[in-house]
Amino acid sequence: MMRVVISIIQHHRRVYAFSAFYYVCAITLTANAKPQAVSIELHNRAVHTLKDVMASGRFLANVHAAEMLLSVGEHDGIFETFEREVSHQKVGSSEYIGACRVLAAPQRRPEKRAQWINKILAVFLDGEGASRYVAAESLAKLGYYPSADEKERFQFAAHASDQTLAVFATWVLANSGSDDDQMLLAGFLRSSEVQAKANAPYALRFQPHLTHLVYQKLSDAADHEPRKSGIYVYMISAQFVHTSDQATRKKLSSILLQLARSGNSAEKLEAYEALAARGELAQLPQLVGGLDDADPDARAGAAHAILCIEQRIGPIQPTLRDTASKDSP
């Protein structure tokens, strides 16, 4: 279930370090945070926005909102909801795989994760066509790395003529942490197939780190990509998440904020997800406007970015809690 749209679990232990990158917002305290930016009202509004989107009825947006809520510690009712949902979906469908992906979230116990990861794996191994794309992408996002018995199937898919399947299979193999596997993933940045070319930087954003050479390939690809191609946002997003240069990050954040305001649905969501990963306090005012976007994925992305930035700058200031809290003994 690929959010990239152009116009459109010894091996289980290795999963968790990689999956945390997407699902858990890092908590890094910032000493000079402005208290007014982290009010309880804004926090509650962002959480409410995500819950509203999860209940909206558009299934892919529901899945995204559920994963975002889990990443910021809001677990209430989510697993129960998706356990009911998965029982109603056809095995192998995008909806079935999406529900399984939520149920395989890192916030669950290892045995529960393994149960649902194996269901997605079964679709990849036995499915065909689009269902294999969705399954491979979901496994990659979950940080899954195959056992020796399954690895050959992913290696075969990584060299398939179908480059959409190949890039997702290569992403799964790159969860090994191997620089060589990551370089193979970066090779798709020059793919002649539009979807594979977009999926490559999208996948690179999820990597815990990029080697210097891979980052340079990403930067070079972005420099040659037309801004209105629909692929550009994924290249800028991955650069923004992985750059260590503050001036570069500031420049890229401006581009992402512009795309969040005026891009299509997929561009807005990708921009917000990059800002969720590495955004800063100064960007909060622009993010608040996204809570009113007509597109549910965009609203969810803006809310997620706000909540992740809030976690990085520290807990809500006691002086900004609601009246009942302030008056409590």
Asked if the model's pLDDT at residue 319 lies above 70, the reply is no
Query: What is this structure's pTM?
Result: 0.84
Q: 11: number of CA atoms within 13 Å, CB side?
A: 18
Asked if residue 2 is part of any domain, the answer here is no
- CA nearest to 273, candidates 18, 8, 25, 15: 25
- Contact yes or no for 98/39 (Cβ under 8 A): no
Confidence band, pLDDT 50/70/90 cuts, at residue 127: confident
The predicted model gives 126-139 an average pLDDT of 93
Answer yes or no: is 326 within a domain. no
What's residue 315's pLDDT?
Answer: 55
Q: What is the CATH number of the domain that holds 77?
A: 1.25.10
Domain count, the chain: 1
Span 159-183, pLDDT tens digits? 999 999 999 999 999 999 999 999 9
pLDDT band at 38 (very low <50, low <70, confident <90, very high): low
Mean pLDDT of 188-201: 97
139: Cβ–Cβ under 8 A, 6 or more apart, which residues? Answer: 117, 120, 121, 124, 172
% of the chain exceeding 70 in pLDDT = 84
- Say what the pLDDT of residue 58 is: 87
The answer to whether residue 150 sits within a structural domain is: yes
By the 10 Å C-beta count (0-12 exposed, 13-18 middle, 19+ buried), 33 is classed as: middle
Statement: residue 313 has pLDDT above 90? no
pLDDT recorded at residue 208: 96
Contact 15, 113 (CB under 8 A): yes
Q: Calculate the alpha carbon distances from 113 to 34, 117, 182 in Å.
A: 38, 6, 25
Which pair of structure tokens corresponds to residue 264?
């299509």
Structure tokens at 279: 């955004």
CA dist., res. 106 & res. 112, Å (int): 10
Ramachandran bin of 17, using left for φ above 0, alpha for ψ from -120 to 50, beta for the remaining angles: alpha
Domain range for residue 42? 12-319
Radius of gyration over every alpha carbon of the chain, rounded to an integer in angstroms: 19
Tell me: pLDDT of 33 over 50: no
What are the tens digits of pLDDT across the range 260-303? 999 999 999 999 999 999 999 999 999 999 999 999 999 999 99
Residue 148 maps to a domain = yes
CA 242 vs CA 59, 238, 275, 277: distances in Å: 30, 6, 12, 10
Q: What is the chain's mean pLDDT, rounded?
A: 86
Does residue 7 sit within a domain? no
Q: Which helix (H) or strand (E) holds 118?
A: helix 110-126
Residue 321: is its pLDDT beyond 70?
no
Residue 12 confidence (pLDDT): 38
pLDDT above 90: residue 320:
no
Domain assignment present for residue 5? The answer is: no
Residue 35 domain flag: yes
In a domain, 188, yes or no: yes
pLDDT of residue 56: 86
